[in-house]
Amino acid sequence: MTGGDRERLEERNRLLEHQLDYLRAELLHLVHEREKNVYSAAWLIFRPLRRVEAALVDALAPLFRRLSRKPAARAAEAPAPDAGERSAAPPKTRARRLLVDVTATARRDAGTGIQRVVKKITQALYRDDSLPIPAIAVRCEGGRLLTCEAFVASLTGGLADADREIAIEPGDRFFMLSDSWNAFEEFQPVFARIRAGGGEIVTCVFDLIPALYPHACHEVTPPRYDAWLRRALVESDAFLAISRTVAEELAAFVEESRLPHRPGLAIGWFHCGSDITEGAPAAPRAQIAAAAAGDAPVFLSVGTLEPRKGHRVALAAFEALWRKGRDARLVFVGRRGWFEEAIAAEILGHAELGRRLFWFDDVGDGELAFLYDKSRAALVPSYAEGFGLPIAEAARRGRPTICSDIPVFREVGGAGALYFRVNDPHALAERIEEFLDGRVTADPAAVSRASWAEAARRVVQAIAAEDWSKRLP
């Protein structure tokens, strides 16, 4: 075994230990909660419901397993059209329009990073009159494509007309921007009409976390993601990732797993934007203003509470700093996600909550901009990401970032961010101390901080000019 192999094995073991510790804390918390419930009157009501819930999970699990296998089986039977079928298909025509699917986000905005990308890209597309080809936001309804007038108006500030049906034309490119994990079958008639007109289907991929880090996800997510990815690989002519790292991970995963895909599958990437809000930040509510008041340096961590985001790592690092007498503040911004009960209880029950520890789960763009401006630095302690929006957002507002040393963060942060050993609270505490003492510095100007306008233009350019970084055989 080489030195490099040994290091990779050690890091893999550290990741598994970190995941195990996180899940152990979650399990212990839930056991304690259950014990409290057992001795309450409410438990008499909820106990039968828990049995129903367990039965539903057991009943649905085989269905998800079948969904993940069926696309693979169909693809194995016919992984790609043969030469005769390709010659009979309509020839590909030059790109003339970009139809941008926003179905899932228009139906339900969960307020996560994916929805942020969808909204910001759509907003930028509608504000740019000089795109190589026109872009239209669409939603799929019963196999038909309709405009999203109210959705677009909410992003651009215009007036909303009634939605109208979009007739697919020769040369249309259909860009699956919004996540389509749960409704891919709904798009089959659209795919067929796009191909009949010599168009192409391009799918946006935000990350491969459910495939590469299944224990970081809710239990229903990996099988759904696997079923979606296998189907999307066969249906898509190209994938556009939100980072070069994800593009490379996708290509490697498809090749190493020998997944069926369309011949000549193209893969490209773009960088997300970093501008949060236009103009000066909005006046924050009193609680947020108080969290940033005073002379103590503020460190801001933005992200949904979920296993891979590193909230426990950040909290442990600050507890070590507080024990040493460092008067620094830690501010979490993010909604509850999944497997978050233990860390949420730890934050809400912490002795420093409201003093040097804060958590806000309903922050808008204006208040987020205010917190970035008031922070000494952003913290991004995730062990898996598709991009790293807080790194770019902090840099855009002139703030440095201290982040995990993972490939995608190196891509985004470059020489302008500070890095620490992933999943290591001691290493994070040391890096923060070095930063506070001026022993290390970061240069936000060296971080990737494209605007959303530049991100949207890059998307259109990649699709219209077929500016791909790799093609699979």
Q: What is the pLDDT of residues 93-141, one digit of tens each?
A: 889 999 999 999 998 887 778 899 999 999 999 999 999 999 999 999 9
> Tens digits of per-residue pLDDT, 258-291?
999 999 999 999 999 999 987 677 789 999 999 9
Confidence of residue 77 (pLDDT cuts 50, 70, 90): very low
For residues 182 and 206, membership in a common domain is answered with yes
- The range of the structural domain enclosing residue 208 comes to 90-273+453-471
Overall average pLDDT of the 295-303 stretch: 97
Contact of 372 with 394, CB cutoff 8 Å? yes
Q: By mean pLDDT, which of 48-57, 74-83, 220-229, 237-246 is the weakest?
A: 74-83
For residues 51 and 109, membership in a common domain is answered with no
The pLDDT of residue 203 is: 97
Distances in Å between the Cα of 323 and the Cα atoms of 298, 315, 355, 356 are 17, 12, 15, 12
Distance from C-alpha of 180 to C-alpha of 320, rounded to nearest angstrom: 42
Whether residue 403 has pLDDT greater than 60: yes
For residues 112 and 257, membership in a common domain is answered with yes
* 386, burial (CB in 10 Å: exposed 0-12, middle 13-18, buried 19+): buried
Q: What are phi and psi of 88, to 5 degrees?
A: -85, -20
Confidence of residue 304 (pLDDT cuts 50, 70, 90): very high
The pLDDT of residue 118 is: 96
For residues 235 and 308, membership in a common domain is answered with no
* 272, burial (CB in 10 Å: exposed 0-12, middle 13-18, buried 19+): buried
The pLDDT of residue 65 is: 45
For residues 143 and 198, membership in a common domain is answered with yes
Distance from C-alpha of 20 to C-alpha of 30, rounded to nearest angstrom: 15
For residues 297 and 403, membership in a common domain is answered with yes
For residues 363 and 223, membership in a common domain is answered with no
The pLDDT of residue 35 is: 56
In a domain, 100, yes or no: yes
Overall average pLDDT of the 386-398 stretch: 96
> Tens digits of per-residue pLDDT, 412-421?
999 999 999 9
For residues 441 and 340, membership in a common domain is answered with yes
Confidence of residue 401 (pLDDT cuts 50, 70, 90): very high
The pLDDT of residue 297 is: 98
Distance from C-alpha of 231 to C-alpha of 214, rounded to nearest angstrom: 19
The pLDDT of residue 16 is: 72
For residues 147 and 214, membership in a common domain is answered with yes
SS (H, E, C) 377-432: EEEECCCCCCCCHHHHHHHHCCCCEEEECCHHHHHHHHHHCEEECCCCHHHHHHHH
The pLDDT of residue 55 is: 55
Q: What is the gyration radius of the CA atoms in the chain, in angstroms? A: 24
For residues 53 and 124, membership in a common domain is answered with no
Number of domains in the chain: 3
List CB contacts of 167: < 8 A, sequence separation 6 or more: none
CATH number at residue 242: 3.40.50.2000
Contact of 454 with 462, CB cutoff 8 Å? no
> Tens digits of per-residue pLDDT, 145-188?
999 999 999 999 888 889 999 999 999 999 999 988 777 888 99
For residues 160 and 49, membership in a common domain is answered with no
> Tens digits of per-residue pLDDT, 192-249?
999 999 999 999 999 999 999 998 998 889 999 999 999 999 999 999 999 999 999 9
The pLDDT of residue 70 is: 46
> Tens digits of per-residue pLDDT, 6-36?
777 777 778 777 777 786 677 667 666 655 5
For residues 163 and 300, membership in a common domain is answered with no
Confidence of residue 2 (pLDDT cuts 50, 70, 90): confident
**Pairing verdict, β 135-141 and 144-147:** antiparallel
